[in-house]
């Protein structure tokens, strides 16, 4: 007991604030999807430029994952998560108040930097506060909490943007990050009282370059990273940016209704991540459920994109199911962690997360570029209007990524009974 609170109860509170940081990161990640027309009109840009404005968050986020993993191994989640929330708040406030596209890029870049700690920080807390045989499940629960933020960044944010505008909405997001920073500093502790790491001091004995070298030398890390990136990219590109616009065009929906449909993919991810982690932990297997998730994701995209006359209801069911099976990709984090030396567990998680987020950074503007190349010159209310034929060309990348994930999963080294105690 600590201050009348059991260690088990406190573990959930501590991890919960870390997970909330990741939830905020996902809110910021998908927020541009409900502001596409507003931002194109405000900054007088096309889809490719807007894709980069959204993706610059991912560039910063992805590029920092390995350094942040090393920093977490050395300095702990509490300080890192607190400082990161302050940076994200500053970036969101800047983005909300600038007039030119240049400073808007700077604001989104700062948001990406500040949000970069959330996932790896939450998982670092999980390794300290929970037993190793629950790691995949807790990883999935981290994704579940993250999806709550992502859902908030869809229909609720769309309604808020419609009521008060995107600038005021982003200022509100900045205020939330400030509150999160204060709560994290007051509540979070790096490890339970009295816990001593089995490798205490090891992380400090490994240089930054040495940590990178150890992670990059692992062939299995590259395979798992390829799988994670291929599974995550379609989700981040569609649910995170282009899905709302596609749904509006496909079914003639208004922004709030389209965001509601799009958010079903996020709901599915919220269900699938903890369920996939739980199933994998119960089976004591990683590769089999990873392959199954990738195959079902491919099937879902093929039906969604290439079935003529698909009804809105069936479209929404498929969005939910694709999100559900895609969410099981969280298993790859556990697969990588089980193979990682304890002193570089944070760096390893950071590397895998870098690949997952970096894939979205590439695919978001990539789809935007394909849309621009297929644009027929039609404008609506000062913003480019893309035809369904243009979307058909651009979105062929989604099932392509799922197919790549299947191939990667088949060469992931098999590992049974994941039970190595991790005390980093």
Tell me how crowded residue 216 is: count the other CB atoms within 10 A of its CB.
13
β-strand pairing of 379-380 with 383-384: antiparallel
Report for 78-92, 96-110, 328-342: range of highest mean pLDDT: 78-92
The region of weakest confidence among 132-141, 208-217, 357-366 is 208-217
Measured distance CA(68)–CA(46) in Å, rounded: 33
Given a cut of 50, is residue 198 above it in pLDDT?
no
Indicate left, alpha or beta for 382 from its phi (over 0: left) and psi (-120 to 50: alpha).
left
Asked if 197 and 343 count as a contact pair (C-beta separation under 8 A), the reply is no
The answer to the question of residue 198 being in a domain is: no
Identify the band that residue 316 occupies on the pLDDT scale cut at 50, 70 and 90: very high
Please compute the mean of the pLDDT values over residues 107-112 and round it to a whole number: 94
Residue 150 lies in a domain: yes
Q: Kindly state the greatest CA–CA separation across the chain.
A: 66
CA separation (Å) from 184 to 3, 29, 193, 343, 347?
Answer: 18, 21, 17, 24, 22
- Give residue for tokens 């998908």: 30
Task: Show the beta-strand stretches assigned E in 235-314.
Answer: none
Question: In this predicted structure, which of 125-139, 207-221, 408-422 has the lowest mean pLDDT?
Answer: 408-422
Give pLDDT, residue 343.
Answer: 65
Q: How far apart are CA 114 and CA 85, in angstroms?
A: 6
Residue 423 has pLDDT above 60, yes or no: no
| Long-range contacts formed by 416-419: CB under 8 A, 24+ apart | 416/284, 416/285, 417/284, 418/132, 418/133, 418/135, 418/136, 418/281, 418/284, 418/286, 418/334, 418/338, 419/132, 419/133
Question: pLDDT by residue (tens digit) across 229-250?
Answer: 999 999 889 987 889 889 998 9
What token pair was written down for 402?
């799922």
Residue 419 lies in a domain: no
DSSP 33: G
| pLDDT for res 223 | 93
**How high does pLDDT run on average in the chain?**
85
Which stretch of DSSP H or E encloses residue 379? strand 379-380
Mean pLDDT of 67-72: 82
The pair of three-digit structure tokens given for residue 377, joined into one six-digit string = 């010159």
Backbone phi, then psi, for 100, in 5-degree steps? -105, 160
What are the counts of helices (DSSP H) followed by strands (DSSP E) for the chain?
A: 21, 2
Q: Is 317 within the bounds of a domain?
A: yes
Structural domain including 65 reads 8-190+204-410
Take residue 61 and report the two structure tokens written for it: 């986020």
Q: Tell me which DSSP letter residue 420 carries.
A: -
Question: For 53-62, 192-201, 371-380, which range has the lowest pLDDT when averaged over its residues?
Answer: 192-201
**Residue 43 vs residues 74, 102, 142, 378: alpha-carbon distances, Å:** 41, 10, 35, 18
Q: Is 256 buried (19+), middle (13-18) or exposed (0-12) by CB count in 10 A?
A: middle
Contact 11, 130 (CB under 8 A): yes
CA-derived radius of gyration, the chain: 21
Rounded to 5°, angle at Cα 150 from 320 and 331: 65
Rounded Cα–Cα distance for residues 392 and 305 (Å): 8
Tell me the two tokens of residue 272: 């699938």
pLDDT of residue 419: 47
CA distance 4 to 391: 57
In a domain, 328, yes or no: yes
- pLDDT confidence tier of residue 115, bands split at 50, 70 and 90: very high
Residue 197: both structure tokens together:
């790491």
383, containing H or E segment = strand 383-384
Q: What is the pLDDT of residue 194?
A: 67
pLDDT band at 414 (very low <50, low <70, confident <90, very high): low
Cα 244 → chain centroid? 17
The CATH number for 317's domain is 1.20.1250.20
Whether residue 28 contacts residue 153, with contact meaning beta carbons closer than 8 Å, is answered with yes
Q: Which long-range contacts (CB under 8 A, 24 or more apart) does 251-255 make?
A: 251/312, 251/315, 255/34, 255/37, 255/158, 255/162
Q: Which of 15-19, 120-124, 343-347, 365-369 has the highest mean pLDDT?
A: 15-19
Does 263 fall in a domain? yes
What is the mean predicted confidence (pLDDT) over 112-122? 92
CA 363 to chain CA centroid, nearest Å: 14
- The residue-averaged pLDDT of 259-280 equals 87
Rounded Cα distance, 370 and 199, in Å: 49
Residue 14 resides in a domain: yes
Please state, in angstroms and rounded to a whole number, the distance separating the CA atoms of residues 423 and 130: 10
pLDDT in tens, 168-182: 999 999 999 999 999
Q: CA torsion 242→88→187→151, rounded to 10°?
A: -20
- For tokens 């089995």, the residue is 198
Residue 145 and residue 54: Cα distance in Å, rounded? 22
Q: Answer yes or no: is 422 within a domain.
A: no
Give the pLDDT band (50/70/90) at residue 206: low
Structural domain total, the chain? 1
């Amino acid at each position: 007991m600590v201050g009348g609170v059991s260690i088990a109860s406190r573990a959930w509170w501590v991890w919960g604030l870390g997970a909330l940081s990741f939830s905020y990161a996902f809110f910021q990640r998908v927020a541009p999807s409900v502001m596409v027309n507003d931002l194109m009109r405000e900054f007088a840009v096309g889809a490719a430029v807007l894709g980069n404005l959204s993706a610059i968050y991912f560039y910063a986020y992805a590029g920092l994952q390995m350094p942040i993993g090393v920093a977490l191994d050395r300095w702990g989640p509490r300080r890192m998560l607190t400082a990161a929330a302050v940076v994200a708040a500053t970036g969101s406030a800047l983005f909300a108040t600038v007039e030119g596209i240049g400073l808007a890029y700077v604001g989104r870049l700062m948001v990406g930097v500040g949000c970069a700690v959330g996932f790896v920080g939450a998982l670092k807390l999980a390794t300290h506060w929970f037993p190793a045989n629950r790691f995949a499940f807790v990883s999935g629960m981290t994704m579940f909490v993250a999806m709550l933020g992502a859902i908030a960044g869809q229909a609720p944010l769309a309604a808020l943007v419609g009521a008060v505008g995107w600038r005021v909405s982003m200022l509100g997001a900045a205020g939330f990050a400030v509150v999160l920073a204060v709560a994290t500093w007051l509540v979070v502790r790096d490890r339970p009282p009295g816990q001593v790491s089995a490798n205490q001091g090891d992380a400090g004995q490994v240089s930054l370059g040495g940590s990178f070298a150890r992670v990059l030398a692992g062939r299995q890390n590259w395979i798992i990273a390829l799988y994670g990136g291929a599974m995550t990219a379609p989700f981040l590109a569609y649910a995170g940016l282009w899905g709302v616009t596609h749904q509006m065009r496909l079914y003639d929906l208004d922004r709030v209704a389209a965001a509601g449909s799009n958010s079903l993919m996020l709901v599915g991810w919220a269900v699938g991540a903890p369920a996939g982690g739980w199933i994998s932990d119960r089976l004591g297997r990683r590769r089999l459920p990873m392959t199954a998730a990738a195959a079902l994701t491919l099937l879902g995209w093929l039906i969604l994109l290439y079935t003529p006359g698909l009804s809105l209801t069936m479209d929404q069911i498929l969005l939910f199911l694709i999100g559900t099976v895609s969410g099981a990709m969280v298993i790859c984090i556990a697969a990588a962690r089980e193979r990682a030396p304890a002193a570089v567990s944070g760096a390893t998680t950071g590397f895998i997360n870098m690949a997952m987020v970096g894939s979205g950074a590439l695919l978001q503007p990539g789809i935007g570029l394909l849309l621009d190349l297929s644009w027929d010159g039609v404008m609506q209310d000062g913003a480019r209007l893309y035809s369904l034929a243009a979307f058909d060309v651009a979105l062929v990348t989604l099932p392509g990524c799922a197919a790549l994930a299947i191939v990667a999963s088949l060469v992931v080294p098999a590992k049974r009974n994941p039970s190595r105690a991790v005390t980093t």
